[in-house]
Amino acid sequence: MSAIETTSLTRRYGRTLALRGLDLRIERGEIFGFVGPNGAGKTTTLRLLAGLLEPTSGEIQLLGERLDTRGRVAQRLVGYMPDFFGVYDDLRVWEYLDFWARCYDLPKFKRRSTVDGLLDLVDLAPKRDALVQTLSRGMQQRLCLAHALVHDPPILLLDEPASGLDPRARVELRELLLALREMGKTILLSSHILSELAEVCSSLGIIQGGKLLASGSLEEVRRQLGAGSRLRIAVRAKASTAVAVVRATPGAGGIVLDQDGHHDMSGPSADRLIEDLADGPTTLLVDWSGDDDGASSLLARLVAASVPVRTFADERNDLEDLFLQLTAAEPEDGEDGPPESRT
């Protein structure tokens, strides 16, 4: 049974079609990154899953339970952290969480231990008595996460949790997410920056114009989007032999030489360039569409040809480029129409 499953999920706002038949499946225990540009439909999806919006058509199941129109299933199973959260004036940190614990009808004897446990978890225990509005953005973010956890839901939906955080706060957030995963939570978090998610997520979905372009593990997404990787091969000598071996290997595409800037090695002048460099240390950047076994055998062939290989690494950051190209290709909105107020 999946943690989250949507079938042909569609949502309209007036004449704007924000989601177009979304089929999403997220297994239990995943940290699922939901990536898409502004207006792609991420917030709409999260709000539907949290039971805060009703679908125009389609179905949602959380842990095998179909979402009811009164939102009770979602309320019980989901902790939701919105992308924008208000600051609660004149409330202390513990009071803020205690307030939400009361809203979830936690009995008094349980409230204190729940609040203290959550403050420990999100590393805010030293700020227990501080006023909420005096917390930094990162701390407020963590407090909001604690709020989403008050009723100990198995599913967490976090809308753009990393936006506005400095690098250190991002690292802390990542550690917190991993700790929550260890506790058995399934986490869906959205972002419009792919690289922000790639390092923490166990699977990804890419959404654009209300449609899912790809989903699965990072590798599966790369395959579905037709993204190859790039091999960085640094050799101490014998560049021409290395290029010949690479060229003869299935899966290898264009070769770029990374020395004194970039030189395109696939053009007619490539061979002369290689001759000039044949004896010196050189780095080759190779477009790679093969699999991991193919990469291993390329390395074995280089070694067998006595090429002194210093570095052999897979560079996968071109997925971000591909994502940017894909998401730049379509306009943001489905159709125009009178806006409904956001509730």
Contact 11, 60 (CB under 8 A): no
Rounded distance between C-alpha atoms, residue 136 and residue 16, angstroms? 36
| Contact call for residue 205 and ligand ATP (CB under 6 A) | no
Point out which span in 21-29, 56-64, 242-250, 335-343 binds ligand ATP (CB under 6 A): 335-343
| Contact call for residue 41 and ligand ATP (CB under 6 A) | yes
| Contact call for residue 306 and ligand ATP (CB under 6 A) | no
Contact 302, 244 (CB under 8 A): no
The β-bridge relationship of strands 31-35 and 65-66 is: unpaired
Rounded distance between C-alpha atoms, residue 6 and residue 177, angstroms? 23
- DSSP letter (8 states) at residue 67: P
Residue among 272 and 342 whose Cβ is closer to ligand ATP: 342
DSSP assignment of 69-138 equals TT-HHHHHHEEEE-SS----TT-BHHHHHHHHHHHTT--HHHHHHHHHHHHHHTT-GGGTTSBGGGS-HH
In angstroms, what is the minimal distance from the CB of 80 to ligand ATP? 13
Of the candidates 4, 9, 18, 143, which one interacts with ligand ATP according to CB under 6 A?
A: 18
H helix or E strand, kind and range, residue 187: strand 186-191
| Contact call for residue 336 and ligand ATP (CB under 6 A) | no
Beta carbons within 10 angstroms of residue 301's beta carbon: 15
Residue among 117 and 337 whose Cβ is closer to ligand ATP: 337
Residue among 192 and 238 whose Cβ is closer to ligand ATP: 192
Residue among 6 and 43 whose Cβ is closer to ligand ATP: 43
Of the candidates 3, 24, 33, 36, which one interacts with ligand ATP according to CB under 6 A?
A: 36
Point out which span in 42-50, 130-138, 259-267, 278-286 binds ligand ATP (CB under 6 A): 42-50
| Contact call for residue 333 and ligand ATP (CB under 6 A) | yes
Residue among 22 and 218 whose Cβ is closer to ligand ATP: 22
Contact 316, 222 (CB under 8 A): yes
Q: Which residues bind ligand ATP (CB under 6 A)?
A: 13, 16, 18, 36, 38-44, 83, 192, 332-333, 339-340, 342
